[in-house]
């Protein structure tokens, strides 16, 4: 077993541990798309570990699946955080829509020249990473501005993802300059894998955490009483 295969196997095991933690502790419903994302990490990893699937085409397919699910995770967390707060929900809708439209335009512009492996890796991926990180930032800003409470798992996903995404974007940016060197490709790949492993272990810790933090009760809005005249007419 090569070091690449070994590292990938450890990442898959860690992702399985996160899924198990989410199920055992009943946290799956806190973010369904995160569970779906982890399942895709396990499934794609199981294929990618085999030499037959260790290809550029499979890597691109895998990245597209991850990108779609990462965007879904960012949007679901934003919704889960603001859904109980109508004012914040309205703001989140407007800004999320603006960000998604802006991201679509940016991604479309990135694919205008060619859609081969290098274009996906160096033109498309950094844009996707930046747009996903901005979606998480939107949620963080809403949390700060409206003074909203946020669950431990959501904090772990947001914090972990954004730090890793910034790291990944930086690695891509450096790799672009030294892509011609196979050694550089290998070492940057290894570095990225270790960073991802650290991220999944961090999520596993949050998924298996014993105590669930209390959340405030949603504010009950008193029902408007019917006007006496109308009530009489109805009778």
Partner 1 sequence: MTWAIVAAGASLVVFLVLSRYMHSARVRDWQALPTVRTRRYLAEVEDQIALDAQVVEEAYGAAAGSRETPDEAAHLLRCAFDLIQATQTDRLQRLKLMMQFARMSAAILVAPPVRPARFKLREVRSVAALGWLLHQVLVSPTERFLARLRVLAWGFWLALRSLRGARDQVSENPAIETNWARFENALGDWRTLDQEHAFAVRHLLLSLSAEPGAVAPAPVNNPQP
44 or 142: CB nearest partner 1: 142
24 or 94: CB nearest partner 1: 94
CA distances 124 to 106, 108, 130, 177, Å, are: 9, 9, 10, 16
List 29, 113, 180, 225, residue binding partner 1 (CB under 8 A): 225
53 or 79: CB nearest partner 1: 79
List 46, 64, 86, 104, residue binding partner 1 (CB under 8 A): 86
Rounded distance between C-alpha atoms, residue 132 and residue 126, angstroms: 10
54 or 66: CB nearest partner 1: 66
Please identify, among the stretches 7-15, 113-121, 158-166, 199-207, the one whose residues bind partner 1 according to the rule CB under 8 A.
158-166
Q: Let me know the angle formed at the C-alpha of 114 by 173 and 43, rounded to the nearest 5 degrees.
A: 70
Q: Which two tokens stand for residue 148?
A: 């909203």
Rounded distance between C-alpha atoms, residue 168 and residue 128, angstroms: 11
List 26, 182, 216, 228, residue binding partner 1 (CB under 8 A): 216
Structural contact between residues 174 and 50, judged by C-beta atoms closer than 8 angstroms: no
1 or 220: CB nearest partner 1: 220
Spatial CA neighbour of 132 closest among 166, 170, 173? 166
Spatial CA neighbour of 186 closest among 26, 46, 29, 7? 7
Rounded distance between C-alpha atoms, residue 112 and residue 63, angstroms: 19
List 27, 62, 70, 127, residue binding partner 1 (CB under 8 A): 127
Within 10 Å of residue 118's Cβ, how many Cβ atoms? 11
144 or 235: CB nearest partner 1: 144
Please identify, among the stretches 15-23, 111-119, 131-139, 186-194, the one whose residues bind partner 1 according to the rule CB under 8 A.
131-139
Q: Where does this chain bind partner 1 (CB under 8 A)? A: 85-88, 126-127, 129-130, 133-134, 136-137, 140-141, 143-150, 152, 155, 158-159, 162-163, 165-166, 168-170, 172-173, 213-217, 219, 221-222, 224-225
């Amino acid at each position: 077993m090569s070091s690449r295969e070994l590292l990938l196997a450890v990442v898959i095991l860690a992702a399985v541990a996160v899924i198990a933690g989410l199920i055992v502790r009943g946290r799956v419903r806190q973010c369904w798309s995160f569970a779906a994302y982890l399942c895709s990490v396990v499934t794609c990893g199981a294929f990618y570990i085999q030499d037959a699937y260790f290809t550029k085409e499979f890597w691109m397919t895998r990245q597209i699946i991850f990108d779609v699910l990462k965007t879904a995770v960012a949007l679901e967390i934003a919704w889960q955080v603001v859904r109980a707060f109508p004012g914040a929900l309205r703001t989140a809708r407007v800004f999320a829509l603006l960000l998604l439209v802006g991201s679509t335009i940016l991604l479309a512009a990135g694919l205008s020249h060619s859609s081969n492996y290098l274009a996906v890796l160096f033109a498309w991926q950094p844009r996707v990473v930046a747009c996903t990180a901005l979606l998480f930032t939107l949620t963080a800003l809403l949390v700060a501005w409206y003074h909203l409470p946020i669950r431990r798992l959501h904090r772990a996903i947001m914090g972990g993802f954004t730090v890793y995404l910034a790291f990944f974007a930086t690695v891509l940016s450096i790799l672009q300059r030294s892509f011609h060197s196979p050694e550089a490709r290998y070492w940057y790949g290894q570095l990225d894998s270790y960073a991802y492993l650290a991220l999944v272990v961090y999520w596993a810790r949050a998924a298996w955490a014993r105590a669930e933090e209390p959340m405030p009760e949603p504010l009950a809005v008193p029902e408007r009483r019917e006007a006496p005249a109308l009530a009489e007419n109805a009778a």
